[in-house]
Amino acid sequence: MESKKGHSKPGEFKPIDLLACAAAREVKDGEIVFAGTGLPMLAIMVAQHTQAPTAVCIYESGSIDGRPIDLPTSVADARCSYQAAVGDGLTDVFGQLQSGKVDLAYLGGAEVDLYGNVNCTFMGGPTGKRLTGSGGNSDIHSLAKRSVLIMPQFGQKRRFVERVSYITSPGWKIPHWPDKEWVPKQEVYGSAFNGGPAAVISDMGVYRFDAKGEMYLDTVHPGFTPEECRENCSFDLNNF
């Protein structure tokens, strides 16, 4: 590793640090957390080292309650499994997710909309620019009690849109197939409904969802104003 000269002094931070810390604060102690690759891993580890020491982290590759001493590169990294309680596989962890055992899930995405629908498959719909596809993003947003989306926003207003161009993962309002009628998530999921998006955390602020399932600006990070958040969002953030 590089020497410690790269470490920040107290009060010194980059927007990305703030994003990770704001995300970490969403975890309550004792919760069962499902985390995806990237910043979500950092966020859960920060939470476990601060206010949520007994939170359990599950990774979709199959590791349960690891105690990593190094930051993993992806969910299947051996670093995730270090001192884990269980290291099994996808059938185990996705089964637990579907049975409602996951309190909080952390994920990323390329595009998010007013209702918290997430796109990580195609920018611009199926004739547009191809991305990775769902992986576990869709499953986790579908089935966790609360999901938190971590996304960069500053200078990237095309990531915050009124309707995503492809729904990889469900938010609070989604189409019912095959009739295409847009209805609340609860109507589509019925007895399998566990919850939905709780927050979107960007490098500019924290967004939450009102009773209609629409996104509003909750708090603004230091260094930004509500107007700047509005300017970096493609839909009208009229709720603040």
Partner 1 sequence: MARPKIVSLTEAVGQIKDGDMLTFGGFTVWRRPMAAIYELIRQKKRNLHLVEVNGGTHDDMLVGAGCVGIWESSWCGHELYGKFGSNLARKIEKGEILYEDWAHIHILNRLTAGSKGLPFLPTYSAMGCDMLNPENDNLGKAGLRDGSNPHIGKLKYAMYQEPFTNSEIVLVPAANPDWCITHVQMVGAEGTVRVDGLKFSDQEVIKASKHNIIIAEQVVPEEYLRREPTRNMIGGYLVDYIVEQPWGAHPTGLYGVHEPDGEFISNFFKATRTQEGFDQWAEEWIFGVKDFQEYLSKLGITRLESLKANPALGYSSTMKRGSR
> Out of 18, 58, 94, 160, which residue is the one contacting partner 1 (CB under 8 A)?
94
Distances (CA, A) of 140 to 118, 146, 224: 11, 10, 31
Q: Binding to partner 1 by residue 178, rule CB under 8 A? A: yes
What is the per-residue burial (b if ≥16 Cβ within 10 Å, else e) of 74-84?
ebebebbbeeb
For residue 60, indicate whether it is catalytic.
Answer: yes
Would you give the binding string for partner 1 spanning residues 148-167, x where CB under 8 A is met? ------------------xx
Residues 219, 222, 226, CA angle at the centre, nearest 5°?
50
Least Å from the CB of residue 165 to partner 1: 9
| Residues 6 or more apart whose Cβ sits within 8 Å of residue 211 | none
Based on the shown chain and the rule CB under 8 A, indicate whether residue 10 belongs to the binding site for partner 1: no
Residue pair 56/33 in contact by the 8 Å Cβ criterion: yes
Question: Looking at 60, 111, 162, 231, which residue is catalytic?
Answer: 60
H/E run at residue 90: helix 90-98
How far apart CA 111 and CA 48 sit, in angstroms, is: 28
Binds partner 1 by CB under 8 A, chosen from 30, 53, 133, 223: 133
**Can you tell me which of 33, 34, 45, 77 binds partner 1, judged by CB under 8 A?**
77
Catalytic (active-site) positions? 60
Contact set with partner 1 (CB under 8 A): 1-2, 6, 37-38, 60-63, 70, 73-79, 81-82, 87-91, 94, 98, 121, 126, 129-136, 138-139, 142-143, 166-170, 174-178, 185, 188-192
